[in-house]
Amino acid sequence: MEDVVDNSLADSENENAVKKTNLVEEEGLGDGDSIVPEVGMQFNDEKEMFEFYKRYAHDVGFPIQKRNSKKGDDGLLKYVIFTCSRKGQRNTNVVGSLKPQPMTQTDCKARISTSSNVNGTWRINTVNLKHNHTCSPSKSWFYHCNRKLPAHVKRKLEVNNMAGIPLHKSFNSAVVEAGGYENLPCVEKDCRNYIEQARREFGDVVSFHTTYLTNKYDMPFAPFVRVNHRGQSTLLGCGLLSNEDTDTFVWVFKTWLECMHGQAPHGIITDQDRAMQNAIQIVFPNTKHRWCLWHILKKLPEKFGYNVDKGNIFSTIHRLVYDSQTGTEFEKGWGLMIDEYELHDNDWLAGLYNNRAH
């Protein structure tokens, strides 16, 4: 199919275009009933038009990208071409490649070209719906244009990264929570890229494995330290063979402080061990002490495995700790959860709530 070009619309065509636009807004897209792009369709802005074409591409089963664009004299975007991502050709004469990358560019000509008028309304000017490759709706979720990292997944990755949790475990946890890979709008590579970017901006988690070093109690220890791009450090916790003696942690923290030339950490993230809390108050009285959220949440099956509403309780707690934007929102949601599932006598939840500042 060649590009369909229409440079002049009659009044009747304008009316049809308006009707089609209304149809897009009223019926919506998805479930295999996406509206096919046609010349003359109009949209309120570029974003609305892009989302329309992306939804169509998702249902048909091909990836899209913004290929070309042009701004007017006023600096505003006036012209955009959206194409199938398999447009173009890859150079096959790569020298020295033992494992060449699979060919994804097939010089596909499928595209739409669009422009805006003086009122800011966008119109489809040309359409080519023919692809020279197989389209696969079942793989649409895998295409880069359809993938995104949800906010709650980002927060979980950040928390687990600070706690030293391997990324593949964090991703698998997100998959289970979403109910399967097909329900998670991202892949493990997206998560890895996000964490690598965060590490470049804020620093990495460094583990000093001093297995063969012992303190005066003959117990090996390994402090976990986060150092950001400004050289500031955050002590994330220590692994010991025994954690019942406050003096042990006092010795560990003081020794670590000496190694840092007296520079106290801005924050410390640990589990809920009482001896460690006491030692932190002694050695780092002005440091913010927080409990590791990952260690808390992994106790949910143990604490609520008997409850008939355990699935709903799990999801509610996850939503509260990861998605609450304000303290007020959290407080309200927590109270509703306690009332709905009759958890007023749960000592573990009561303890967490009383110590929520951690």
> Any idea where the domains of the chain sit in the sequence?
4-146, 151-202, 221-291, 299-354
CA dihedral 211, 212, 218, 223 (to 10 degrees): -40
**Of how many residues is the chain composed?**
358
Query: Would you say residue 170 has pLDDT above 80?
Result: yes
Query: Would you say residue 204 has pLDDT above 90?
Result: no
Backbone phi, then psi, for 142, in 5-degree steps? -85, -20
Give dist(CA 238, CA 277) in Å, integer. 12
H/E run at residue 308:
none
**Are 198 and 226 in contact, with CB atoms under 8 Å apart?**
no
pLDDT in tens, 10-26: 334 444 443 344 334 33
Task: Kindly give, in sequence order, each residue whose CB lies less than 8 Å from that of residue 288, ignoring residues fewer than 6 positions away.
Answer: 266, 267, 268
pLDDT score of 245: 67
Give dist(CA 256, CA 249) in Å, integer. 10
pLDDT score of 224: 52
pLDDT score of 201: 57
Percent of the chain with pLDDT over 70: 72
pLDDT score of 354: 92
Confidence at 275, pLDDT banded by 50, 70, 90? confident
Task: Kindly give, in sequence order, each residue whose CB lies less than 8 Å from that of residue 265, ignoring residues fewer than 6 positions away.
Answer: 225, 233, 234, 235, 284, 287
Supply 171's token pair.
């991703």
Query: Would you say residue 74 has pLDDT above 90?
Result: no
pLDDT score of 125: 92
More confident residue, 348 or 221: 348
pLDDT in tens, 178-199: 888 878 888 888 888 888 887 6
pTM of the model: 0.42
pLDDT score of 223: 52
Give dist(CA 81, CA 122) in Å, integer. 12
pLDDT in tens, 346-356: 999 999 999 98
